[in-house]
Amino acid sequence: MNHLGAETLIGPATDEELVAALQAGDMQSLGQLVVRWEQPLYRFVCRMVHRPEDARDVCQETFLRVLDRSDKFRSGSRFSTWMYQIALNLCRDRARRKKRWGRIVDDGKEAPTETTAIRGDQLGVNPESDSVRSELAQAVQSGLMQLPPEQREVLILKEYQGLKFKEIAEILSCPESTVKSRMYYGLNSLRQTLSRQGIT
């Protein structure tokens, strides 16, 4: 009976147990990790890189690195943190290669001009209007894109991936206070950007 078979009798294996099994040569454990994490990872990467095709490549490369470097995974660490670290570094490398730091959020459109800016009173006319919602989303995404990369990373990891500040700090290898500080300044900058467009 293999490692996974034994675990299924007890209960679902944790991520860290699956990595341990992978280190022991159990390929099925990698499949379990992929099934478990491919969607969250894809959503995260998709928000970090510009194109969905790039996001798929980064996800693929992330799992390949998990496979190749499983022996470097330290016991006591969280697999998700390690995986996000790998994915984030790959996203940074890709963005650095393409020199597109300003476009790594999945938007790619220029910031709204004065003529296309959303006025606050538009929100009151018909908040549920699809066009207004689309323009609002576009403004938010554009504002997010204009943030410095370190602030944008924190906002995405916190707001969309739902990670704890402590986990983000581990991923970014920085103090938790730094994460909160980046979060604050990123959120404040986004508020000012949206305010200039009359949204907040």
Partner 1 sequence: MKCNEWNNEWIASLYGEIDESELGEMERHLATCEGCGQHLRQLGETRHLLSENGPTVESGGAFSPRVVVLDTARGRRGGGWRFAGGFAAAAALFALGIFVGIQAFPRQPVVLAGSDDGIDLSNPQSTQIEAIPASDLTHLKQNYETLEQRLGRIETWLPKNEGDRRPIIATENRLQLAVGRLNQEFDQRRAEDLEFLFDAILAADAEARQRDTRTLQVLEVMEARRDPNVRPR
Applying CB under 8 A, the residues found at the interface with partner 1 are: 27, 30-31, 34, 38-39, 42-43, 46-47, 52, 56, 59-60, 63-64, 67-68, 105-107, 133, 136-137, 139-141, 144, 155, 158-160, 164-165, 177, 180-181, 183-185, 187-188, 190-191, 194, 199-200
How many helices (H) and strands (E) are present in the chain, helices listed first? 10, 0
Q: Give the C-alpha separation, 47 to 43, whole Å.
A: 6
Q: Tell me whether residue 2 or residue 9 sits nearer to partner 1 (CB atom).
A: 2
Q: Tell me whether residue 9 or residue 80 sits nearer to partner 1 (CB atom).
A: 80
CA 41 to chain centre: 7
Q: Tell me whether residue 13 or residue 62 sits nearer to partner 1 (CB atom).
A: 62
- Taking the complex as a whole, the smallest distance from the CB of residue 67 to partner 1 amounts, in Å, to 6
- Taking the complex as a whole, the smallest distance from the CB of residue 10 to partner 1 amounts, in Å, to 25
- Taking the complex as a whole, the smallest distance from the CB of residue 143 to partner 1 amounts, in Å, to 9
Q: Tell me whether residue 10 or residue 169 sits nearer to partner 1 (CB atom).
A: 169
- Taking the complex as a whole, the smallest distance from the CB of residue 11 to partner 1 amounts, in Å, to 24
Q: Which tokens belong to 146?
A: 């204009």
Q: Give the C-alpha separation, 190 to 184, whole Å.
A: 10
Q: Residue 159's closest CA among 37, 43, 53?
A: 43
- Taking the complex as a whole, the smallest distance from the CB of residue 164 to partner 1 amounts, in Å, to 7
Question: Is the CB of residue 179 less than 8 Å from the CB of residue 169?
Answer: yes
Question: Is the CB of residue 20 less than 8 Å from the CB of residue 66?
Answer: no
Q: Tell me whether residue 9 or residue 98 sits nearer to partner 1 (CB atom).
A: 98
**Residue 153 CB contacts under 8 Å (≥ 6 apart), including other chains:** 48, 88, 172
